[in-house]
A and B are shown apart, each in its own frame.
Chain A
Amino acid sequence: MIELVNITQHYGVRPVLRGINLRVKPGELVVIVGPNGMGKTTLLGVMAGVLQPQHGVVTIDGHQRRQSVAAELAIRKKAVYLPDQAWLPTQRTAREFLLGVGQLYDIDMDRLMEHVNRLLSLFELSEQGDWVISSYSSGQKKKLALASALLTEAPVLLLDEPFSGGLDPSGLLALKRVLKRRVAEQGATVVLTSPVPELVEEIADRIVILRNGTIAAFDTLEGLRRLTECPGSLAEILERLMFPETTKKLQEYFKELPT
């Protein structure tokens, strides 16, 4: 379980996150949505331990982040964070990189090699597996970064915009299916950010909607529909939650003009 209690995060003077309280249950796929600059990546960064919040605590499976060396080590073995833009070792081949990552997470070598082959095949990188990463396109690099996160077999996955960065339709499909299966059958906990409501609708168990650094809503899609009294798509729900004034004004505007 991931628990955030009263999180406030600043980089400078302006707070990016304010008083965030959030509890993600084990075996749940949660997506953080919201417009650009509302703190999606910052919230994920706080969960991932990249950022140290000015107030509040983050707890993962009972261990508080950065509280002690032992607690942080325990969290790092369980939780993998993948930023929007990973920096890959460009002079190594994809296979070398993936094997290195697997060894870092103490995965049995036979299992690791088989898993590497399957991931390379899944993301259509089998042929390029022994090429140096510098020769990869940006979409292939994104696939490789995703493969590295999946390879760790960590029970907690924190993925920042995993569906962006030039991922092709087959990559999108593969990632969606793998994440859903990880959650449903292996009990993994996945938290990811995405700006694309259609994708979120498809995969999310619950959705966090961020607005101005606070949680505007955190519920299932059905729950959000009830909350906003909007039976439509997530995009429409977001419109109501994020820009209620604009929606109201648009409705006013579209009324028949007097003849």
Chain B
Amino acid sequence: MKGSSIELDMVRAGYGGEEVLRGVSLSVDRGRIAAILGPSGCGKTTLLRVIAGLVIPRSGRVLLDGEDVTRLPPEKRDIGFVFQDLALFPHMNVFDNVAFGLKVRGVSREEIRRRVEWALEVAGLNPPRDFFSKKVTDLSGGQQQRVALARAIAYEPKVLLLDEPLSHLDLKIRQRLLVEFRRLQRELGITMVYVTHDQWEAMELADILVIMKDGQIVQAGPPSEVYSRPVNTYVAMFFGDANIIPVNGSSRRRYAVIRPEDLEISLDPNAASHANSFRATVENVVFQGPVIRVDLKWEHGTIRALIPRRQAQKLPRIGEEVTVRWRPEDAWIVEG
């Protein structure tokens, strides 16, 4: 199976008088995973529905493998869609749910049986045959999730679209399914667009991370790039934790973005003479497993530092005045 490339060109879309997507352009190469990250109401689900053909854009174009599909109905796009509420057919058993896309394609009975079994196995339901005649309403949340996934891949679509598919599951199952999504994409070469509001899910999956806000894409790129070089303070704070420090002596409003793990805390009073440093008071110290979080207060507000656990001996106490330092290359300057 080969995935198709996805391209959105200045797409505007909405419902009634409300414009939800305000000029979105995005391109995803074949076989890659794009994770769309943004707060609720930012338009990320609508973006997915536009790719699927469930929402027709008011203007702009949608291209799959370079072909303009803007006005093509969903059934002609060769896509798989995993809905947030799963949308399993309650009157069909597991087999018929997974077989649906194959039946409407007129696939032969033996082939349907083979593909259903394959899809359930790929989705991690083992042994697949045990699930054939089960009612979907009798399955656990994780199993329903897997059936929804199997149903969307059984006919080997070129594009798999997932709308917050893990939001109702607990952490353990989520982590397992995330690994399986990755494996799926690797083994099937399918192009995936994954909508989430969870940045850890996004990091786990994404080749390209897309940050959305108010119906527009604010930044798109590899997660490491978005993390280390956010285009503005919104992206810096939305994707990962960030300290935003105003830069002095500039005519425009500029800020230094410093990740908490890049800050260093020194108890040495002489350390304050460094250029990239200031004095702050320790407000809170929280043990977080691999790291210790230190909340500090300084003249421009609060700031957060993460100290590796192995340096725990050198930790300050609450109320203590310390010097906070960073390397100049760890401060990323943004405007606004």
Partners in one complex: no
Q: Which residues of B contact A (CB under 8 A)?
A: none
Q: Which residues of A contact B (CB under 8 A)?
A: none
